[in-house]
């Protein structure tokens, strides 16, 4: 059957969504893999936060960092944070383009009926 479906034959136990398949989800030990992965993700965020804000005498303080540097790619010594102004402008341009091109779509007709269109 596996050959017909072009699937590989695996062995039990295997993980599904980070939990061993067939494990009892009521047991705390079943969730250890998920908890470890979440902790790894959070440690990365903690590193990012600490790179922008420092700590002095147990108190947090704001460090002056250029927004351009924050939005730079990680390989260019930035943090890889997305500049939301640029992202917003690009998404708005995309939706303006779709509004002008998808004239027969229901969502476009609803918006045009409610707000009108610049070009009828």
On whether residue 56 sits in a domain, the answer given is: yes
On whether residue 3 sits in a domain, the answer given is: no
Q: What is the model's pTM?
A: 0.41
| Domain span including residue 103 | 82-120
> Rounded distance, CA 7 to CA 81, Å?
39
Comparing 9 with 118, the larger pLDDT belongs to 9
pLDDT tens per residue, range 27-65 = 888 888 888 888 888 777 666 666 566 665 566 666 667
- 71 and 83 Cβ atoms separated by less than 8 Å: yes
pLDDT tens per residue, range 65-90 = 777 877 888 888 777 888 889 999 99
> Rounded distance, CA 68 to CA 83, Å?
9
On whether residue 88 sits in a domain, the answer given is: yes
Are both 16 and 35 inside the same structural domain? yes
Number of domains in the chain: 2
């Amino acid at each position: 059957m596996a050959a017909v479906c072009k699937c590989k034959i695996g062995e039990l136990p295997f993980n599904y969504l980070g939990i061993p398949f067939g494990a009892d989800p009521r047991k705390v030990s079943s969730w250890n893999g998920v908890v470890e992965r979440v902790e790894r993700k959070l440690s990365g965020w903690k590193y990012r936060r600490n790179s922008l804000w420092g700590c002095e005498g147990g108190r947090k303080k704001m460090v002056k960092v250029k927004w351009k540097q924050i939005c730079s790619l990680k390989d260019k010594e930035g943090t890889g944070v997305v500049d939301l102004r640029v992202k917003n402008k690009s998404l708005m341009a995309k939706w303006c383009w779709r509004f002008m091109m998808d004239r027969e779509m229901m969502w476009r007709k609803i918006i045009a009926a409610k707000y009108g269109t610049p070009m009828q």
